Amino acid sequence: PAKLHKQGASLLHMVRLLLPSIAMALAAPPSGPAKHTLKKLVAFDLDGTLLNPEHRLTQPTLDKLRELDGLGVSIVFATGRSAPAVYEHVAALGIQSTLPCVLYNGAVCYAFPQPCDSAKDAAARKEELFSLGIDLADAAEVCAFAAERGLLVQYYVGDHIYVRPTCDEHRDLVRRYHELTGASHTSVEEYPLTESPAKMLLMTDDPDGVLSTVREAQASGALPSGLASIRGSPPFFVEMLGQGVYKGSGLAKLCERRGVAMADVVAFGDGENDVEFVRDAGLGVAMKNGRDAVKQVAGRVTARTNAEDGVAHEL
């Protein structure tokens, strides 16, 4: 009995010593490299998140994405970009599984067979999974609203971005957007209001002021109240989307099609258009360089920025 009592006391002492370590292992830290149960699907915003400041996929990032693909984890791009603005990155990825891309901040989703030989190959082989455009009557009201205030509209239909620049300021905004995304524009005399746009951008160097004006107009009934309005990332436009459309709803629709629960999803983002996307995922991860609104809803914050391979380090 004395020997058993001594052994019991020794075991109890050992448990007491180990309890802090056990607690630390069970608690998920707020930042730093993630060590979690493998999820079924990982979704990535592009600009400010997966891409570096030069808008490129770095080799460490590519290596990590290919490693995830090899483990059977589905990779998804989720971005405000148009389809032509992602072809280059789709082609560079080099994974073996089909890559779904939620584009236009949730309005359209394409599946891209992998691997792709080139951006041209990506464009030719894409398959549309769903499309949720802006109602034509609503689009006409946005165009009229912009014209009254001297704002340039970017009008997205299919692979085309239609613009109607009327001054040097407009042309400079078009140039800057092209330099950022590589996307080409089609200049028109009138917007193609017979075709429902996936999204519309109000181009401006005062996005906060224009966003405030848009929301006041929506509150007063001067613009359709159901349209989503978001401050752009990068900050030289305000984005307009159809009713109930945002990046998080697009990801949820894709997951429903694939039979994946949102609890089994990890989502990485940095911008205001990523708030619901990050919030609704099983694990939402905000970038260190991200906006405060995203960090507030995230389960984790990366230890590094997108300039420091923050996503690769977290994975």
Structural domain boundaries in the chain? 41-132+246-314, 136-241
Q: What would the DSSP string read from start to end of 88-134?
A: HHHHHH--SS-EEEEEGGGTEEEEE-SS-SSHHHHHHH-EEEEE---
pLDDT tens, residue order, the chain (315 aa): 555 455 555 544 443 444 343 333 333 444 444 444 557 999 999 999 999 999 999 999 999 999 999 999 999 999 999 999 999 999 999 999 999 999 999 999 999 999 999 999 999 999 999 999 999 999 999 999 999 999 999 999 989 999 999 999 999 999 998 888 778 899 999 998 888 999 999 999 999 999 999 999 999 999 999 999 988 767 899 999 998 999 999 999 999 999 999 999 999 999 988 999 999 999 999 999 999 999 999 999 999 999 999 999 999
Q: What is the pLDDT of residue 24?
A: 35
**pLDDT given for residue 13 in this prediction:** 47
Instruction: Write out pLDDT tens, residues 53-63.
Output: 999 999 999 99
> In what helix (H) or strand (E) does residue 165 lie, and over which residues does it extend?
none
Which tens digit of pLDDT belongs to each residue from 103-138?
Answer: 999 999 999 999 999 999 999 999 999 999 999 999
- Decide if 41-132+246-314 and 136-241 have a common fold: no
How is domain 41-132+246-314 classified at the CATH fold level? Rossmann fold (3.40.50)
Element (H, E) at 269: strand 265-269
Domain 136-241 top-level CATH class: alpha beta
In 10 A of CB 234, how many CB atoms?
13
- List all residues 6 or more positions away from 268 whose beta carbon is below 8 Å from its beta carbon: 42, 43, 44, 45, 49, 50, 278, 285, 286, 287, 302, 311, 314
What's the pLDDT at 7? 52
**E strands of 35-107, at which residues?**
41-44, 74-78, 99-103
Give the pLDDT of residue 28. Answer: 44
Phi, psi of 163 (to 5 degrees): -135, 155
